[in-house]
Chains A and B, each alone.
Chain A
Amino acid sequence: MIRKIRFSFTVSLLAFGLLISCTDKPDQEKKALSQLPFTTLSFSSLSSFQKPEADNWQTVGKVYADRRKDLQLTKEDGSGILVNLPDDQKKSNLFTDFEHGDIELEIDFMLPKGSNSGIYLQGRYEIQLFDSWGKEEIAPSDCGGIYNRWNEQTSSGYDGVAASINACKAPGLWQKLKIKFQAPRFDEDGKKIANARFEEVKLNNIVIHKNVEITGPTRSAGFEDESPTGPLMIQGDHGPIAFRDFRYKLHDKEKIKLADMRYKFYEGEFDSFDTLSSLTTSQEKPTDSLTFKAAGDFDIYAIQFEGLITAPRKGDYLFEVRGYGPIRLMIDGKLVANNLLSQNMSDPGYGEVNLSEGNHNFTLSFLKNEQPWRKGMSLVYEGPQIPKTSLQAKSSVPTHPQPQPLIVSADENVQLQRGFLIHHGIKRTHTVTVGTPQHINYALEMSNGALLEGWRGGYIDVTDMWHERGEAQLIQPLGSALELSEKPLLASLENNESAWPDTLQADNNLFIYQGYELDPNGIPAYLYQWNNTAVRDLILPDASIHGLVRELDFQSDNADTPLYCLLAEGSVIEKLEDGSYAIDDKNYYLDLTESANSEPIVRTQAETQQLILAISASTSSQKVKYSLIW
C-alpha cells in the first residue's frame, strides 16, 4: 500500500502564502511573546548604583558627540541616559547595587571619538568599549574585546581575546551590546571548579564571541579574587561614554524538575488532541525523559506524556513547544502552548503561565500524524531567574550536518554578486551585493533602487546558493549589516506631505532598472529610468569615512511630474551642528553634500521620519550626493 503524504503539500503552500503576504504588507498581528521580559535598569537617577566616590556619573536626557572631536560629549538635562564625563580628578568607576552570577544583559552605548570604557561582569571580567571605528586589525583592547589579564611581574597582558570581527560603529552613534555570561563555579570548599565564561557576546547584532572562557579577572578589575557573584562595574576613569536601555536577566542555578513521568502511547493517525482523551490505551509506561523515541519503531502515532513539573520558585514561566507534528502542553489542566498543528519544527508555539512554587501536573501531547521520516519534538522553557532550558531529552531534537561554507572574498578585487537576501526579515529577490577591497560592502535592491544595507568586514557567504540545489538562494553578508529602508528610491508625490509608497506597482511601473556599467575597477553604476528622467546611481566605498558615498545623477528630456528622492528613513532624524544628519535615533550619519539645488525636507510619516529631496523639473543635469557613515 502506498501512502499519500498530504501535509507536506499544504505546509509548503502555507509557507509560500506567508512569504507572499509578507512582501505585500507588513504583518500587523502582534507577535506572540517569544521570551520573558528583561528587567530594565532605569537611568532616571543613580539609585541603582553604589554611590561613586566622585561625581563624574550622572543621568541626563540627551547626549551628542561630534564624530570629529576627540573625547567630546555634550549633554542635555533630563533622564534616561547614563553618562560619564570624567576629568583628571573625577573619574570613579560605577558599580551596580545588585550582584550577579549568571546574567544576560543588553545595553546601548555611545562613545565620543577616541574614548575608552568597559563593562566588567562581576566587577572582574571586562568587555572593552573603545572607539575602534574602522580599524582593520583589532586587538583585545579594541571594542568588544575581552580585555587582557595583567602580569605585574612582567608588565604584560595575557589571555585577552579580540572580537572576531570589528563591528564597532562611528563615534556619536548608539551601539548595541548583548552579553550572555556564566559566572565561575566553586565547590563547597570555595575552590573554583569552572572558569567564568562569555557564552555569547554580540556587538551591533553580530556575534563577536562564542563560548570564551576567562581564566581570571582582567586588567583593572574591581576585585582581584573570583567569586560566585559580584556587582557589575562600568569603567569611568578612561573617558566619556553614555549608556541607555540597560536590560538584564539574572539567572540562578535552580531549575524546573520533572517527576513522576509516564506516557501513553496510541498507535495510528490522529489529527486532533481531543480524540486522545476519549481513547483508552493499554500502553502506559513510566519514563525518565521526554522524547519522541519513546514511540520506538512506530512511524505514525500519538504520544502523551504526563507527570509533575516542580517549579523552583513562583513567577512567570514561558514555554516553547516544537514538533514535526502537532504538539500541545497543558499545565494543571489548562492549555499553555501549542504549535497550531504545524508539521515543522521551525514553527514554535509559545505560552506564558504564572506558576506557584512546587508541583504542577503537566500533559505534553504529540501527534505524529504525517511525514514519518521527519522526527523530532521539543519542550523548552524560561522562568524567573532561569534561562532558556530544554526539558526534552537531547536525542528528541534532530541535528543536521552543515556543509563546508562557500565564501566569496573581495580582498583582492571588487566583487559583485546577485542573489536573494533577507532584509528586515523579508526575502528580496532582485538584489545585488558589492564587496570591495576596502572591506566596505553594500546590498542594493535593483528593482526599486533602495540601498538595503551596508556592512564592513568580509564580503559574502553563498553556501545557500551554491551548495546542492541552493534551495534558499540566499546571500549572507559577512559582517554587521546596517539595515536601511527598503522603500523605493524615487516617487512622484503630489506634495511634501504625501505618503511615500511602500512598493512599486508591478504593472504600472514608472521605475525601470536598466542594469549597470562597471568602471575599470569593477565598481558598478546603476541606471534607472523614471518617465522621462534617466538616473545614474554610483555607490562608492570611502575608506576615509569607513562608509559609502552615493552619487545620483538625474537627466531629463523634459520636465516630469514632481519627482522626489528618499534619502533616509528612521524613527528620529536630527540635523546636527556640522550640517550632517543623524538618522534613526543616531543609528548612522548621512552627510548630504550635493542636493540638486533643492532644500532637503525632514518630514514625519506615521511613526517614522523621512529625509526627502524634491528633484526639480529641469532639463539640466541634477546631482545628489551623500555619504552614509556608521
Chain B
Amino acid sequence: MTFKNISFSIIFFLLTLPTLFAQGTMSDQENEFYNITTLPIPDDIVLEVGGMAFMPDDRLAVATRRGEIWLINNPYMKGGKLPEFKRFASGLHEPLGLAYHNNALYTTQRAELTKIIDTNQDDLGDKFQTIYSWPLSGNYHEYSYGPLFLPNGDMLVTLNLAWVGYGASLVKWRGWMLKITEDGKMTPIATGLRSPAGFNFDADGNVFYAENQGDWIGSGRITHLEKGDFAGNPAGLRWTGEPLSPLDLKPNQIPDSVGLMYEFAKEVPSLKIPTVWFPHTIVGISTSAILTDTTGGKFGPFEGQMLVGDQGHSKIMRVALEKVNGEYQGVCFPFKEGFSSGILRFAWGTDGSLFVGMTSRGWASTGKEMYGLQKLSWTGKTPFEIKTMKAMPDGFELEFTEPVQKAVAEDVNAYQMTSFTYSYHRTYGSPIIQQQDCPITAAMVSADRKKVRLHVDGLRGGYIHEIKANGVRSAKGKALLHPVGYYTLNNIPGGGVNENVIASNNQSTEKDTEASCGWDASKRTTEMPTDWKGKADVVINIGTEPGLKYSVKNFEVPAGARVQLTFNNNDDMLHNLVITKPGTIEEVSTASMQMGLDGPQRGYIPKSDNIMFHTCILQPETSESIYFVAPEEDEYTYVCTFPGHAQVMRGVMKVIPSNAKTASR
C-alpha cells in the first residue's frame, strides 16, 4: 500500500496563495490556535466520507458514498505511526450517516436504516439488519441521513427532497425527520426539510438540523426541531394527511411568496423559524455537520458551543445558543477554514480533537480534494474571539475569550451593527432584504473586562443582526481573530418585540433593499444596443455542467466584434459569469470572497476595475444575455464569483485579430 503522504494544509496554502495577500492568511492565523492534520488514506481507498463514528476501542469507523465502511485504527497517528485501514462492510447504497450503539454500527442507506453486526468479532460485518425501510422514486437527490441515537435508544433519520428543477417529495416521507425504534416502529417527527444533511444535539440534548439555501430557503441555517414542526419547505407537507403525521398544515396554506418567515410564523404556529441563520456566502454556503463541544475543555475555550461544518466552503463555523422567551436563538461566527475537501461529517476523538470527514464529488468545494479525512486540534493557545453574544432588552452583551482594553472597548466606534433578513418564497435563495443600520449608542465594559454591554437602537425581532467589532483590542493589544458575528434575534428578552423597536425603524437609515448587480451598469448591458441594429457579430451560449463547470471552457471572438453572450444557469445552484482583465483573475476571485453583506446585494460582483463585463447572479434554470464589444487581442478569463466557485468555475475568452474568422465553439 502506498500513501498519499502529503500534508493537506500545505496544498491548500499553495492553492490559495494569491488570496492570502489580501486576507493575511486567515487559515494560517487560525492555525496558531487550531491546526489541521491530514490523515493519509491509502491510494486504493476512495474515502468519500458519508458517516463517521468512533468505536469504544478508539477506532474510527467511516462510511463512504461508495457504500463501504472502514475501520481506522490509530486515527490519531500516535507514536508517529500511520493509521491502519480495515474494510468492515461494503455494498451499501450511499450511506450518509454512521452511529455506534451497543456493539453494532448503524447507518442510513438510500432506502433504509440498517444495523450492522459483527457476530464473530472478526472485524467484518456479517449481519445487515434492515431496521426500517422507506419508498424511493429513483431520483438521485433522495439522500437519506442518520441515524442519531436518542438517549432512550430510538433513532432519528432525515430524508432529502428529490430535485426535479425544484425540491419535491415524490414519495413518502421525503422532506421529513423520522423517529425509528430498534424494533422498526416509525413516527414522523417534523417536516419542511429540504436538504437536511446534518442534525445533532446541542449541549442540552435538543435536536437541531442544518439546512442549505434552496427553494423556499433564503440562506443556510440551523433550526431547532421538535415534534410537529414545519421548518419551511412545503414539499413534505404533501404527507400531512397521513394518519401518523403530527401536523396537519397543507401545502396550499403556504403562498408562493410569503414575505417574512418570522411574520408568517405568527399566523402559522407549526412553522418553526430558524434558530440561527448563516448568511449565504458570508458564513458558508452549505451547512452540513453539527457537533457540540462536549470535550470538557480539551478542544479549547468553547465548551458547550456548537460547531457547524460547511461543505462548499470547506470550513467550520461556531455557534453560541441561548434560550430567550422559551425559545432557542443565537449567533454564528467564522471559526476555521482551509480544509481539504467538502466537509460533511464530524466526530470527536477521545483526545478532544475534531475529526472532519469530507467529500466533494458532484458538489464542488473550495478544498480541492475529491475526498479526505482531517483532524482539527486545539494548540492550547486561546484565540482572541467573541466567545458569545447574548440578546439584551436594548442591545447585546458580547463576551470575549480574553479581557479587553477598556478604553477602546467602550468607544462605540469600535463596533458596527446592521440588521437584515431574507425573503420566504418559492424561489431559490433570496437576496438580503430590508437591511438597516443599528446605531450603537453605548458600550460598557464589565468589571472583569471580559464582557461588553452594547446599547443598540433599532433592534428588530426576526432579523439577523451583524456585529462587527473591528476596533476592539485585547488587554495584550491583539485584534479579534474573527471580529464578526451574526445574531438571529427571534426574541428580544423582556417580552418579545416591543412596539418601540418597530417604531424605531423609521429613525434608522433603510438601505436600498433591491438587489442590484455589480457597481457599474455599463459592465452589464442586458439589452442589445440600438446601434447594433438587431444583430450581434458573435453569439456565445454558455451553460453549466455539474461540479462547478461552465459548459464552454473557452471561445474565441475577433477584437471589436459585437458580442452577445448568453449565460444559462442550468445547474441547481446560483452562478454568474464575470469576464476579467488578463492576469487579474486571482485578485477578482479573492475580492469576491471578501464582499460580506455586499455580496448578495451586488450579485457577488466585487468592486474592481479588473472586471470588464458580467452577468448578474442567476437563479437555477434562468439565463441572461449581456452585450459588449470584444476588447483588444488577449486572453480574458471568465469566472463565477459566487463565493467558493471562483477557484474552479472558469473559462477563457480569447480575443483574436479582427480580420480572423471566428472559430468560436
A contact set with B: CB distance below 8 Å = 1-5, 8-9, 12-13, 15-16, 19-20, 296-299, 371-375, 415-420, 427, 429-430, 432, 446-447, 465-466, 468-473, 506, 512-519, 524
Distance between Cα atoms of A472 and B124 in the complex (Å): 30
Total A-B residue contacts, Cβ distance less than 8 Å: 149
Residue interface bits B295-313, CB-to-A below 8 A is 1, else 0: 0000000000000000000
Q: Return A250 CB to nearest CB of chain B, in Å.
A: 41
Contact of B91 among A9, A371, A415, A471 (CB under 8 A): A415
Question: Does B546 belong to the interface (CB within 8 Å)?
Answer: yes
For chain B, residues 548 to 596, give those with C-beta under 8 angstroms from any C-beta of chain A. Answer: 551, 564, 566, 568, 570
B568 contact set on A, CB distance < 8 A: 5, 371-373
Using A469-B362, A515-B128, A517-B126 as known contacts, say yes or no to A430 and B136 having CB atoms under 8 A apart: yes
Q: Which residue of A lies closest to B363 (CB)?
A: A469
Which has the most chain B C-beta neighbours within 10 Å: A1, A371, A430, A519?
A430
Q: Return A149 CB to nearest CB of chain B, in Å.
A: 44
Query: Does the CB pair B566–A515 fall under 8 Å?
Result: no
For chain B, residues 610 to 637, give those with C-beta under 8 angstroms from any C-beta of chain A. Answer: 616, 618-619, 621-625
Query: Does the CB pair B140–A470 fall under 8 Å?
Result: yes
Using A1-B527, A297-B538 as known contacts, say yes or no to A429 and B362 having CB atoms under 8 A apart: no
Using A5-B622, A418-B67 as known contacts, say yes or no to A471 and B90 having CB atoms under 8 A apart: no
Question: Does B29 belong to the interface (CB within 8 Å)?
Answer: no
Distance between Cα atoms of A431 and B465 in the complex (Å): 49
A472 contact set on B, CB distance < 8 A: 140
Query: Does the CB pair B140–A471 fall under 8 Å?
Result: yes
Query: Does the CB pair A473–B546 fall under 8 Å?
Result: no
Query: Does the CB pair B127–A515 fall under 8 Å?
Result: yes
Query: Does the CB pair B129–A514 fall under 8 Å?
Result: yes
Query: Does the CB pair A1–B137 fall under 8 Å?
Result: no
Jot down 8 A-B pairs with beta carbons below 8 A, ordered by A.
A1-B527, A2-B624, A5-B570, A373-B542, A417-B91, A420-B138, A471-B140, A516-B128
Query: Does the CB pair B624–A3 fall under 8 Å?
Result: yes
Query: Does the CB pair A515–B92 fall under 8 Å?
Result: no
Distance between Cα atoms of A418 and B137 in the complex (Å): 16
Distance between Cα atoms of A409 and B33 in the complex (Å): 46
Query: Does the CB pair B137–A19 fall under 8 Å?
Result: yes
Q: Which residue of A lies closest to B95 (CB)?
A: A418
Q: Which 3 A-B pairs have the closest CB atoms?
A: A297-B539, A469-B362, A373-B543
Query: Does the CB pair B165–A473 fall under 8 Å?
Result: no
Query: Does the CB pair B135–A517 fall under 8 Å?
Result: no
Q: Return B542 CB to nearest CB of chain A, in Å.
A: 7
Using A298-B539, A373-B570 as known contacts, say yes or no to A12 and B165 having CB atoms under 8 A apart: yes
Contact of A517 among B65, B93, B109, B127 (CB under 8 A): B127
Residue interface bits B55-79, CB-to-A below 8 A is 1, else 0: 0000000000111000000000000
Question: Does B133 belong to the interface (CB within 8 Å)?
Answer: yes
Which has the most chain B C-beta neighbours within 10 Å: A16, A472, A519?
A16
For chain B, residues 6 to 28, give those with C-beta under 8 angstroms from any C-beta of chain A. Answer: none
Q: Which residue of A lies closest to B664 (CB)?
A: A297
B546 contact set on A, CB distance < 8 A: 468-469, 471
12 additional A-B pairs beyond A429-B137, A473-B94, beta carbons within 8 Å, are A3-B623, A3-B624, A5-B622, A16-B139, A16-B164, A19-B137, A297-B539, A372-B541, A415-B91, A468-B362, A512-B184, A514-B129
Contact of A3 among B112, B362, B538, B622 (CB under 8 A): B622
Q: Return A34 CB to nearest CB of chain B, in Å.
A: 24
Contact of A427 among B138, B170, B184, B566 (CB under 8 A): B138
A469 contact set on B, CB distance < 8 A: 140, 361-363, 546-547
Query: Does the CB pair A518–B128 fall under 8 Å?
Result: yes
Q: Which residue of B lies closest to A10 (CB)?
A: B165
A20 contact set on B, CB distance < 8 A: 137, 170
Query: Does the CB pair B362–A470 fall under 8 Å?
Result: yes
For chain B, residues 420 to 454, give those with C-beta under 8 angstroms from any C-beta of chain A. Answer: none
Q: Return A479 CB to nearest CB of chain B, in Å.
A: 18
Residue interface bits B159-180, CB-to-A below 8 A is 1, else 0: 0001011101010100000000
B contact set with A: CB distance below 8 Å = 65-67, 90-94, 109-112, 114-115, 124-130, 133, 135-140, 162, 164-166, 168, 170, 172, 184, 361-363, 526-527, 536, 538-539, 541-543, 546-547, 551, 564, 566, 568, 570, 616, 618-619, 621-625
Using A427-B138, A517-B127 as known contacts, say yes or no to A468 and B547 having CB atoms under 8 A apart: yes
Query: Does the CB pair B165–A9 fall under 8 Å?
Result: yes
Q: Return B423 CB to nearest CB of chain A, in Å.
A: 16
Distance between Cα atoms of A375 and B361 in the complex (Å): 27
B127 contact set on A, CB distance < 8 A: 515-518
Distance between Cα atoms of A3 and B136 in the complex (Å): 33
Q: Return A323 CB to nearest CB of chain B, in Å.
A: 17
Query: Does the CB pair A416–B126 fall under 8 Å?
Result: no
Q: Return B541 CB to nearest CB of chain A, in Å.
A: 5
Query: Does the CB pair A8–B92 fall under 8 Å?
Result: no
Distance between Cα atoms of A373 and B621 in the complex (Å): 11
B90 contact set on A, CB distance < 8 A: 415-417
Q: Which residue of B lies closest to A9 (CB)?
A: B165
Query: Does the CB pair A447–B363 fall under 8 Å?
Result: no
Query: Does the CB pair A371–B622 fall under 8 Å?
Result: no
Distance between Cα atoms of A516 and B184 in the complex (Å): 16
Q: Which residue of A lies closest to B126 (CB)?
A: A518
Q: Return A496 CB to nearest CB of chain B, in Å.
A: 31
Q: Which residue of B lies closest to A474 (CB)?
A: B138
Using A5-B622, A373-B541, A515-B114 as known contacts, say yes or no to A418 and B109 having CB atoms under 8 A apart: yes
Q: Return A521 CB to nearest CB of chain B, in Å.
A: 11
Q: Which residue of A lies closest to B243 (CB)?
A: A507
Q: Return B174 CB to nearest CB of chain A, in Å.
A: 12
Distance between Cα atoms of A514 and B166 in the complex (Å): 34
Contact of B536 among A297, A419, A465 (CB under 8 A): A297
Q: Return B175 CB to nearest CB of chain A, in Å.
A: 15
Q: Return A372 CB to nearest CB of chain B, in Å.
A: 6
Using A8-B570, A9-B165 as known contacts, say yes or no to A19 and B618 having CB atoms under 8 A apart: no
Distance between Cα atoms of A469 and B564 in the complex (Å): 32
B124 contact set on A, CB distance < 8 A: 518
Using A469-B546, A517-B128 as known contacts, say yes or no to A4 and B91 having CB atoms under 8 A apart: no
Q: Return B180 CB to nearest CB of chain A, in Å.
A: 14
Query: Does the CB pair B619–A429 fall under 8 Å?
Result: no
Contact of B133 among A447, A470, A519 (CB under 8 A): A447
Q: Return B238 CB to nearest CB of chain A, in Å.
A: 13
Query: Does the CB pair B570–A371 fall under 8 Å?
Result: yes
Distance between Cα atoms of A471 and B140 in the complex (Å): 5
Query: Does the CB pair A2–B616 fall under 8 Å?
Result: yes
Distance between Cα atoms of A4 and B536 in the complex (Å): 22
Contact of A1 among B164, B526, B547 (CB under 8 A): B526
Query: Does the CB pair B164–A13 fall under 8 Å?
Result: yes
Distance between Cα atoms of A372 and B115 in the complex (Å): 48
Distance between Cα atoms of A524 and B564 in the complex (Å): 60
